[in-house]
Amino acid sequence: MNAIISASELASDSAGENPPVLLDIRWQLSTAKTAGAPAFDGRAEYEKGHIPGAVFVDLDADLAGPAGAGGRHPLPDVEHFGAVMRAAGVGADRDVVVYDGGQGWAAARAWWLLRWTGHPSVRVLDGGLAAWDGPLRTGDERPAAEGTFVPEPNAKDLLDADAAAALARSGLLLDARAAERYRGDVEPIDRVGGHIPGAVSAPTVENVAADGTFRPAADLADRFNSLGASDTSEVGVYCGSGVSGAHEVLALAVAGIPASLYVGSWSEWSSDESRPVAKGPDPQ
């Protein structure tokens, strides 16, 4: 099944006999707190208007564990994640469609977690809520019945720090952050700038068009092949904390290239002073 779905396809599927479960993952990376401004409130945005039938899921609380040595967005407790998904109506017998405000990163994190834990049919709304031209509903929604989804994580789609380091040498490890963070020119969040030695810069923002929808699959395949995906059987991705990296894994899936995710990403790697750091434009 395709990893993404268009707004028109979603409207058609939602009007069918077995509509998909809809999850709204409104979230954005923000440094507003540092400046004294209110932090982005995903639930409030959801309650102002969401696709009818969608259930809100909180990325920080439900799609990640507490920040710490494992990074800013480590894996959530699997039992908690399963309970949240069931409460949202998710079952293995129903398609799931996830969306966010338009950037796609948060929706991709939900997509990756559901895929990693064994859901057979989950897609991301291409372009997010901005692409939806149908009616919106305000307030909160809950499903008519609890779902039956029981997460069963697999090891093959997940990288830890050691595996990421090894893959950077034996296969292709893509760094999905902005190029200036990869080079180490700036680092607004983590302890030190730079990248995992051997990793290749591949900013995830280059996977989408100006309207936030994914570039055509053939274009994405050409991009990733030019970065080395055609020369290796194994591809991995990391970013700052495992959110935008999930979006790059999604882009790779659209291109027909399977990839693993280093969830701890740079926020975990850079916090460990024993880990080597490369700087500049070259993988090294």
Contacts with 97 (C-beta within 8 Å, 6 or more apart), sequence order: 5, 10, 13, 20, 21, 22, 23, 122, 123, 124, 125
Structure tokens at 279: 């700087």
DSSP string, 12-38: HHHTSSSPPEEEE-------TTTTTSP
DSSP 255: T
> Is 147 marked active-site?
no
Name residue 179's amino acid: A
* Nearest of 193, 190, 119 to residue 152 by alpha carbon: 119
Distance CA 134, CA 49 (A): 11
Question: Which of 4, 106, 107, 239 is flagged as catalytic?
Answer: 239
Q: Which residues are catalytic?
A: 239
